[in-house]
Each structure stands twice: as structure tokens, then as C-alpha cells.
Chain A
Amino acid sequence: MISKSQAIEILNAGLATGADFVEIFIEEKYNNNLSIDNDKIETISSGIIYGAGIRLLRDLRSVYGYTNDLSKKSLLTLASTLAASFQGERILEVKKLTKQKVKNVHTTSRHLNEVTKEEKISFITKISDEMKQFGDKIVRRIVSFGDNTQKIVIINSDGKIFEDTRERGRLYISALTSDKNGIESSGVGPGASKGFEYFEKEIDALALARNVCEVAIKKLTAKECPSGKMPVVIGNGFGGVIFHEACGHPLEASSVSKNLSVFANKLGQQIAAPVVTAIDDGTIVNEWGSNNIDDEGNKTQKTTLIKDGILVNYLIDNFNGRRMGMKGNGACRRQSYAFEPTSRMSNTYIAAGKSTVDEIIKTVKLGLYAKSLGGGSVNPTTGDFNFAADEAYMIRNGKIAEMVKGATLIGNGAEVLLNIDMVGNDIKLAQGMCGASSGSIPVDVGQPTIRVSEITVGGRGGALK
């Protein structure tokens, strides 16, 4: 890593042509991934992600560059190359750098990089073995475990140095089933900013594996989902991907600041039904999407985005905040040094309401219960979204009825927010990876069970009956 005096020189090279802010982001990350496919360990991979990104800002312009060569010469060249894209006089000079205090709240007892590969393998093997009891219908069992330890240093022209170490692990369990009806699959992927104790003690990995098998087997005989507009009850946990895709992304300053979001200029306005309160909280201890500081050094925050249906805040990074006249709120993130950081979500969820799940299901005469969802995507400008149900049932006369497969929910984020008419009391978070311009980052989605009065459901099972 570079010394303080070298950093000052590099920052000042970046400031030479009138930049008003320069930042060096240095990263060294150790990755380990292993997986078992049926009973065989086929690949294990270990490696280092290593490099530095330099960002220069001048008013509403940003320039960014990165390299793996962390020598002083290479970083000075990069800073000067970037500075050459501005034509101005120096307005700032860095004289002193002071290390800032970063408190690590995500403490761990068994560091993931200290657990041997043998122990991790025996852990995933045990899970894979547990899935054998479901017999021949399970044709493929894949269990993988990945962990990483990321050390970052952020040095900026405000004279500040931030250092932090982040540690994350994720287990992934999936089952593929096959019989005369075809092939189906199901999976689950719990993760945390925590050591190995989370996986061996705090979650019941074997129970999760059994459930994955049961769902994948049940799907074999499920009917194809009917299509049409219908009321949809969306289950808790990963069901929150609806809010993430349809509402979370359009609340990011990267699209709001350019007026490219359906929610731009709507602070203080009713954008959701009054039962909806939504929060982004990057501070939840040991949670998968949490950090002590964001990727520009701001402390992460708990930010209420929507309160009782009223839009009260956005997810803001310092740079996009300039265009909006607002300050960054700890939401600036990036996959690695190879990405210019921008506003992103952390752990984003719809807050708990008052209804029980039974009460919600009871209200639906004919509709869909999307118990858990797969992935999806959204166009942040129009708000049009789509996502697939992983486990879904029809609701008939207020009762959960037959399982259906192949359901896709599509709609418009702004509309769906207004159509959420019941919110349950069973809030739960679930882990995922979120991809956008600053790369793929760990996030939590979450919600209690909710009811949407009407969503277009796509499926291959013909008209709704």
C-alpha cells in the first residue's frame, strides 16, 4: 500500500487542473469458492482482487480510472491522465492526511479466511448428504460456499483516510428434480457479513436444504400458472425483490438526479399506499448488505425512503447529491476498485404492518400467492418491472390451493406501490446480489407478506379460472 506522502502527491496531481475533489480507493480482496455437485468436489477457486481506482470530480463532471499497478509511478500517471481531461487552474491543495475512526460493528468469532478449506468442504458435504433422503427424483444437488475478505483504504482530498475490512460468506443450496413431467429446480442462498459461526450454528442449513428439495419435487407435479390480471399476495423475505426492483432502483440518486426516475421531484408526495413504509438500512449488524462505511467513506445509515406512503428520501452518493442539492447518505457503493461508485441499496425492505398472513390470504377470492420469488429486473426510467415466482400457489376462496409453476409478475413500479393494500407483520430479510452500473454488490431485500390488489401474471396455464 502507498504511504501518506505518496498519497498526498497523487491527490495533488489529480487536483492540478481544477478538480474540486479527488479520491483514491485501494482494495485487496481474498476470495474463496468451493462447491459440491452431487457427491463430487469439482472445482475450488482461490484468488486475489487487487487494485486502485482514482476518481476526480469537478462540479458535475466525474472522471475515473483504475489499475492493478499500485506503484507510485503508475498511480501518479493515472492521476495526471485523468486530470488532463479538465482544463483549469488548481483550486485546492492537500497538505495533510488524517486517519478517520471507523468502528467495526460487524464482529465475528470465526473468521472465514481462518476456517480451513477441509472444514468448509465437510460442511457442504453434510448438506449435500442430507438431500439424498429425497431419492431419485433429485437428479442434481449443488451446494456451494463462497467467502471473501475485502480490505479497503479510501484517501481523499478532504484530507481524510478511511480503512475498513469487510468479511462476507454465502451458502448456496440448489436441487434439480426430474421425472416424466420434466425438470424443475429450487434454491436458497443465505449469507451474512459474519464468520463461519453464522453458517454452522445460527442458520439451520440442513432444514433449508430439505425445504429446497421438497419445493423442487412439488414443482414437478405443479400445474402451469394461469395468466391474466389478478390479486397477488407476495410472501415475505425474498418477496421484497419486488420493492427492490420496482421502487428501490428508481430511488437511487444516479437516476433521480438526472430526472430519469419516475420518482424524481416527488419528495413529500404520496407515491405509495398509506400502508407502505420502506427503509434502506446499511447499519444492521452482521447483515449481508451492511457496511461500516460506504465506498466513499460516509458512515452507512438507516434511511426511511417512504413513510406511510409519502416519499421522504432518496439513496444518495456525494456526486449525484451535487446535482440534487442534497448530501450523500452513506449509499455510495461499488463492486470493486474497477467500478466508479454510485448510489446503491444496502438492506432495503418494506416495514412490518399489522395484518397476519392468514388475514391477508382470507381476503382473496381468486388470485395468486407468490410465496417466494426468483430474480427480476426493472427499467428505472419507466418503472416497468418483471420477476419470476419460485414457489407459488393459487388462492381460492380465501384459502391456499394448488401449487402452480412458471408464474411471472409484470407491472409498473409506481402503480404497484399504490396498489399494495395490505401489509403483514412477518417481516423477513433475504440475501441477493444486485447488479447495476457500479457492479454486482451484496444486498438484502425484504418485506412482510403483502397484498397487491392487481398485478399482471404471465404463465402458460391459460386464462384464470
Chain B
Amino acid sequence: MIKLQKYFELAKCAGIEALEIYIVRNYSLGFSLFHGEIDSYTTNDSISLGARGIFNGKMGYAYSEKIDKSTPEFIIKNIVENAKNITSENKVSIFEGSKKYKKYNCYNKELDLIPVETKLNKLYELERKLKESDPRITEIGGVGYEETRGETILANSYGLRLSEKSNYYVFYAEAVAKDGEDTKTGYKTFLDCDFNKFDLDKFVEEVKDNTIKQLGGKPCKSKNYRAVLAPRVVSSLLSAMLNSTIAEEVQKHSSLFEGKLNTQVVSKKITISEKPLAHNIFFKGFDDEGVATYNKDIIKNGVLKTFLYNIETALKDGVQTTGNGYRSSSKSPVETGYNNIFLKPGKLSEEKMIGKVKNGIYIDSITGLHAGLNSQSGNFSLQATGFIIKDGKISDPVNLITVAGNLVKVFQDVTMVANNIELLTNATSVPSIAIKSIMVSGN
């Protein structure tokens, strides 16, 4: 373990008012197969230290993966040097600690005890069954297993010491289906910390279906369609919209929700909550500034209830932090993030919802969000795949189309929310939704 005393001593000598150290330790194991053989096998044991400190009222940052005798000096020297150059007048603070922290064990020891061979055999079985699932599945693009054990430690010069451990595994598979010259790929992941929860046959069936059903896909007619959006599509658009609930975006005038607190911003059918304390693998009892997290509604029945704050943005608005100070890694500064997002499900099954839409389009996937979305205006134009909805049923596959619209408008236009809630790898739990209209560009 890293001895932290030296850091705090040096900081004091250098005139740093408060110092915070954030350490991430990671062990991982992963392997993938190709044609029945292990094609790649990776393992790692890594540690990374990020630190920040207040010098003359300014926050300086530094990090290192090189942990030896020279590290404390490098870190403290750079914190001081960087703080000296900061000209922002934002008030900064390092947190003394919350009164109480909620705990939940998201470390499953059992997973470590299962021999590597058992995990590997499961993967062989997955590849074999997927290959045999349909004659049109001509190739398995990759099947893999990865498991990660992580530990986060947060310590500061006020004496706060927090740590959290978690582990989980992921199975993923990509299948390639061919019919003549037509090639389609389908991909799926499964994430949990209980190895027994992985239902291999169900997973194979889903990957196969995802792939085969796209065969024969072609562009459809360009026009406005009534649409059903699959959970992963909803999740991507939702994450993009949530960016506008981040206080920093509001303060910098780049939020779509500036000035809209406590007003109706989307359809009444939409309730979005952040539940960092939900008992799943994404549980977090404290944020990356050491603030105890809590569950909250961000949008309730279409009304924007709160912006998300870290300590710095909260000080600026004269409010309390909402416990949303997160770092994207120990190398990044504290920004604002969220964890475990839930979109409240409705009562209808997806199938019934499609039935009610009658004629329209089912959007199964979208790509290109990083380029095709203007996060400032909310306008997007994205590559999509899906299916025509005809007479209340899924019919012809569609690909190489773009769907265009506006993020906020999509959630304003929601007509139905289904009950097929699914926890996705980006820590969002969302169902399918139906919307009034989306502009499709195809033929």
C-alpha cells in the first residue's frame, strides 16, 4: 500500500492549504476466442494516483502511475506550479467529510474463487453454440470474457479516509451473418458480479436474433415516421440530454436547460432519477470528492427538479453539492457526473407498444453520437438501423438510414413508455419509448 503521510507532510511544508489524494487500484483478467482457440488473454495489476491541492486559494492538479520515492515530490511540486497559474476566480474547496456514508457490498468474493478454467469453458461453449445457432451465422467476430476488481481510495489532509471495492464480469459476443453478399453484425454484452446469473442459452439466442433479423436490411423511404426507440437508443439519447443537467454547462451557458429549473422540459410521462445507492454493480456510496451520495429525481413527470453539482459549481451558485463530483479517471480533474440513471418504466410491454404504434419505425441502434449530435443545440443526425413497424408488428429490416431530430424534442414527443427496463453497461436502466415522430432519411 502507498504510504500517504509523506504527501501530506510535503504539502504542508509547501504551503498547500488542503490536499486530497485519489487512488485507483485495478486488477483485471480477460480473454477472447477466435475459431475455438484463445486469441487473446490479458491481465493487469495497475495503480494510479491523482492528487489535488489548494495553494493560494487555487486548485492545482497532478497525477502519477509511477509510484516510488520520487512521487510525493513530483506531485506536490506540480500541484503548486499548476495552482500558481490558475486565474479562475471560482472558489474551491476540499471536503472535510459527510456525517454518514451508505454502504453496500458490491464485491463478490465468489467470483474470484471460480477457477479461470470454468470461465474459459463457458466461453468455449458460448462460441460453439453461437456458431451452431443458425446456418447464416458464418463467423463469430469475437467472444470474450473480462473481469475487473477495482478499489478506490480517497484521503485528504482533513483526515478523511474512504474506500470502496467492487468487482464484476462481462461476457460479450459479436456474430456475423451472411446471406449472399449481404453481411450484418450483431453484438451483445452481459454484465454482473454473480457468475451464476449468466444464462448462456438465452444470451446466444439474443445475439443470434440481433444478427439474423438485420439480414436483408435496406434503406427505407425518407419521411417522418412514428417511432419506437429500443432501450440502448433511449440510453444514448438520454445520456446526451443529461449533459444539460450538469451545473457547469448551465453556468457556461451551454445547457439546453438554462433557466428551466422547476419547469416542464419534457413529456409528463418521463421521470429520470439518479440512484447511486441502488443495489447493483454500479453502487457508489461517495463521489470522487468524498461527498456521500443520495438518490434523487432529476426530472419528475417532465419537470426539471435539479441540476447536478460538484463542490466547485455548488459554491458558485451558493447551493449544496448534490454529490456528483466525479473524475473520469485518476488523471482527470473532478468534473460532474452521474451514476445509475433510471428512466421510470411504464406498464406496457414493448410488443404491446409496437402494436399501438401500428405503422412506423422501430429504431434498434444509432451510431455516431460523438459526431452527429450538436450537444449545444441538441440537434442530431445519426446513422441508424431498425425495422419497419407494419400493422402493429415488426416487419422489414432497415439499415443505412439517418434519423434526425432534436434531443429535447424527442423526450417531449414521448407518447408511451414500455416496461422492458434493462440495465446497460453505461449504468443506465431504461425501457423502450414511443415517440410521435422522427425524421428518417433513406431512399
| Chain B residue contacts of A180, Cβ below 8 A | none
**Given A68-B47, A85-B38, A382-B183, residue A260 in contact with residue B374 (CB < 8 A):** no
B271 part of interface (Cβ distance < 8 Å): no
Interface-forming stretch among B98-106, B157-165, B400-408?
B400-408
Contact of B85 among A67, A85, A118, A229 (CB under 8 A): A118
Q: Do the beta carbons of A381 and B443 come within 8 Å of each other?
A: no
Provide a sorted-by-A list of 13 A–B residue pairs whose CB atoms are within 8 angstroms. Answer: A28-B66, A40-B90, A43-B59, A48-B63, A51-B46, A140-B253, A228-B441, A258-B139, A379-B367, A386-B368, A386-B383, A457-B441, A458-B404
B150 part of interface (Cβ distance < 8 Å): no
A93 part of interface (Cβ distance < 8 Å): no
Q: Do the beta carbons of A377 and B368 come within 8 Å of each other?
A: yes
Nearest residue (CB) in A for B442 is: A456
**Given A50-B64, A381-B183, A386-B367, residue A63 in contact with residue B222 (CB < 8 A):** no
Q: Do the beta carbons of B399 and A227 come within 8 Å of each other?
A: no
| Chain B residue contacts of A165, Cβ below 8 A | none
B14 part of interface (Cβ distance < 8 Å): no
Q: Do the beta carbons of A45 and B222 come within 8 Å of each other?
A: no
Residues 30-76 (chain B) with a chain A CB within 8 angstroms = 34, 37-48, 50, 59-67, 74
Q: Do the beta carbons of A463 and B82 come within 8 Å of each other?
A: no
6 tightest Cβ-Cβ pairs between the two chains A and B:
A458-B402, A386-B383, A227-B441, A47-B63, A50-B66, A375-B371
Chain A 324-354 interface mask (CB, 8 Å, partner B; 1/0): 0000000000000010100000000000000
Nearest residue (CB) in B for A178 is: B253
Q: Do the beta carbons of B85 and A68 come within 8 Å of each other?
A: no
| Chain B residue contacts of A44, Cβ below 8 A | 60-61, 82, 85-86
A117 part of interface (Cβ distance < 8 Å): yes
Chain A 382-426 interface mask (CB, 8 Å, partner B; 1/0): 101111100000000000000000111011100000000000000
**Given A48-B64, A62-B39, A63-B40, residue A410 in contact with residue B85 (CB < 8 A):** no
Chain A 36-73 interface mask (CB, 8 Å, partner B; 1/0): 01011111111111110000000011111111110000
Nearest CB in chain A: distance from B220 CB, A? 12
B15 part of interface (Cβ distance < 8 Å): no
Q: Do the beta carbons of B376 and A184 come within 8 Å of each other?
A: yes
Q: Do the beta carbons of B86 and A37 come within 8 Å of each other?
A: no
B184 part of interface (Cβ distance < 8 Å): yes
Q: Do the beta carbons of B48 and A68 come within 8 Å of each other?
A: yes
B370 part of interface (Cβ distance < 8 Å): yes
**Given A51-B65, A227-B222, A382-B183, residue A377 in contact with residue B46 (CB < 8 A):** no
Contact of B252 among A140, A377, A411 (CB under 8 A): A140
Q: Do the beta carbons of B78 and A386 come within 8 Å of each other?
A: no
Q: Do the beta carbons of B42 and A45 come within 8 Å of each other?
A: no
Q: Do the beta carbons of B402 and A45 come within 8 Å of each other?
A: no
Q: Do the beta carbons of A376 and B86 come within 8 Å of each other?
A: no
| Chain A residue contacts of B403, Cβ below 8 A | 458
**Given A39-B87, A45-B62, A386-B382, residue A65 in contact with residue B82 (CB < 8 A):** no
Contact of A40 among B87, B184, B333, B441 (CB under 8 A): B87
B88 part of interface (Cβ distance < 8 Å): yes
Distance in angstroms between the alpha carbons of A63 and B45 in the assembled complex: 15
Contact of A47 among B43, B331, B376 (CB under 8 A): B331
Nearest residue (CB) in A for B120 is: A85
Nearest CB in chain B: distance from A133 CB, A? 20
A360 part of interface (Cβ distance < 8 Å): no
A304 part of interface (Cβ distance < 8 Å): no
**Given A45-B331, A47-B331, A408-B402, residue A67 in contact with residue B42 (CB < 8 A):** no
| Chain A residue contacts of B355, Cβ below 8 A | none
B18 part of interface (Cβ distance < 8 Å): no
Distance in angstroms between the alpha carbons of A183 and B406 in the assembled complex: 13
| Chain A residue contacts of B78, Cβ below 8 A | 46-47
Most A CB atoms within 10 A — which of B48, B59, B139, B374?
A: B374
Q: Do the beta carbons of A406 and B381 come within 8 Å of each other?
A: yes
Most B CB atoms within 10 A — which of A48, A260, A457?
A: A48
Kindly count the residue-residue contacts between A and B in the assembled complex, taking CB atoms under 8 Å apart. 233
A215 part of interface (Cβ distance < 8 Å): no
Nearest CB in chain A: distance from B185 CB, A? 5
| Chain A residue contacts of B88, Cβ below 8 A | 40-42
B89 part of interface (Cβ distance < 8 Å): yes
Contact of A185 among B67, B370, B376 (CB under 8 A): B376
Q: Do the beta carbons of B404 and A460 come within 8 Å of each other?
A: yes
Distance in angstroms between the alpha carbons of A145 and B219 in the assembled complex: 43
A135 part of interface (Cβ distance < 8 Å): no
A121 part of interface (Cβ distance < 8 Å): yes
B141 part of interface (Cβ distance < 8 Å): yes
Distance in angstroms between the alpha carbons of A258 and B64 in the assembled complex: 38
Q: Do the beta carbons of B44 and A45 come within 8 Å of each other?
A: no
A259 part of interface (Cβ distance < 8 Å): yes
Q: Do the beta carbons of A260 and B139 come within 8 Å of each other?
A: yes
B254 part of interface (Cβ distance < 8 Å): yes
B379 part of interface (Cβ distance < 8 Å): yes
Q: Do the beta carbons of A407 and B381 come within 8 Å of each other?
A: yes
B277 part of interface (Cβ distance < 8 Å): no
| Chain B residue contacts of A374, Cβ below 8 A | 371-372
| Chain B residue contacts of A40, Cβ below 8 A | 87-90
Distance in angstroms between the alpha carbons of A43 and B61 in the assembled complex: 7
| Chain A residue contacts of B400, Cβ below 8 A | 384, 410-412, 456
Distance in angstroms between the alpha carbons of A16 and B44 in the assembled complex: 20
Chain A 126-151 interface mask (CB, 8 Å, partner B; 1/0): 00000000000001100000000000
Distance in angstroms between the alpha carbons of A74 and B47 in the assembled complex: 13
Contact of B222 among A31, A46, A117, A463 (CB under 8 A): A463
Nearest CB in chain A: distance from B224 CB, A? 10
Nearest CB in chain A: distance from B46 CB, A? 5
Distance in angstroms between the alpha carbons of A81 and B141 in the assembled complex: 27
Most B CB atoms within 10 A — which of A66, A259, A406, A410?
A: A410
| Chain B residue contacts of A39, Cβ below 8 A | 87
Q: Do the beta carbons of B141 and A260 come within 8 Å of each other?
A: yes
Q: Do the beta carbons of A183 and B44 come within 8 Å of each other?
A: no
| Chain A residue contacts of B368, Cβ below 8 A | 376-377, 386-388, 408
Q: Do the beta carbons of A386 and B372 come within 8 Å of each other?
A: yes
**Given A66-B44, A81-B43, A374-B371, residue A260 in contact with residue B176 (CB < 8 A):** yes
A459 part of interface (Cβ distance < 8 Å): yes
Chain B 359-376 interface mask (CB, 8 Å, partner A; 1/0): 000000001101110101
| Chain A residue contacts of B442, Cβ below 8 A | 456
Contact of A82 among B41, B45, B381 (CB under 8 A): B41
Distance in angstroms between the alpha carbons of A262 and B78 in the assembled complex: 49
Residues 13-46 (chain A) with a chain B CB within 8 angstroms = 28, 31, 34, 37, 39-46
| Chain A residue contacts of B404, Cβ below 8 A | 227, 406, 408, 458-460
* 10 further interface pairs, Cβ-Cβ under 8 Å (given A46-B81, A61-B40, A184-B374): A39-B87, A43-B61, A43-B86, A117-B82, A139-B253, A176-B254, A176-B376, A375-B371, A410-B401, A459-B404
| Chain B residue contacts of A78, Cβ below 8 A | 43, 45
Q: Do the beta carbons of B379 and A460 come within 8 Å of each other?
A: yes
B320 part of interface (Cβ distance < 8 Å): no
Q: Do the beta carbons of B381 and A66 come within 8 Å of each other?
A: no
B377 part of interface (Cβ distance < 8 Å): yes
| Chain B residue contacts of A185, Cβ below 8 A | 374, 376
B439 part of interface (Cβ distance < 8 Å): yes
**Given A47-B331, A184-B377, A408-B402, residue A61 in contact with residue B39 (CB < 8 A):** yes
| Chain B residue contacts of A68, Cβ below 8 A | 46-48, 65-67
Nearest CB in chain A: distance from B369 CB, A? 9
Chain B 178-199 interface mask (CB, 8 Å, partner A; 1/0): 0000011100000000000000
